[in-house]
Amino acid sequence: MEQILQTTYLWLKAGHIIFVIFWMAGLFMLPRYFVYHQEAEAGSPEEARWIDREAKLRKIILTPSLIAVWVFGIALATAMHYWSMPWLHAKLLFVVALSAYHGWLVSYGKKLAKGQRGMSGKALRMLNEVPSLVAVVVVILVVVKPF
């Protein structure tokens, strides 16, 4: 039984890490796409291409990766009985925040596709740093387990 749990654990962990990488890559790309989108002339063919690229990134990479991260993460925490660990609670707080950021990006992208350019390119460039900061904290929580 222990061998099965160890094997399952390794596959769950691998799946979780793989989809975290995909999700983070998408979270780094989407705000950058928004910058280029906003720099394109409104109503131009270039803007239409950015709208299409953003939609594909969301539908093909970002949202499926977010779902897989949560599924693998919950399965991993359950398999290893991590639910009572304080470091996991802290990690979950940051992952919930990053998931909310993901949702906000999707919402902003839909507004942008309708022609509502509510943020500056500089602000969008700064948003690119959000996933980096969260990743640093989460990795420290998972690897170091400071509490």
Query: Mind listing the pLDDT tens digit for each residue in 5-20?
Result: 778 999 999 999 999 9
Residues making up the binding site? 16, 91
pLDDT of residue 7: 83
**pLDDT of 1:** 61
Segments of the chain with pLDDT less than 70: 1-2
- pTM for the model: 0.92
Annotated binding site for heme: which residue ranges?
16, 91
pLDDT of residue 6: 75
pLDDT value at position 104? 97
CA distance 14 to 63: 19
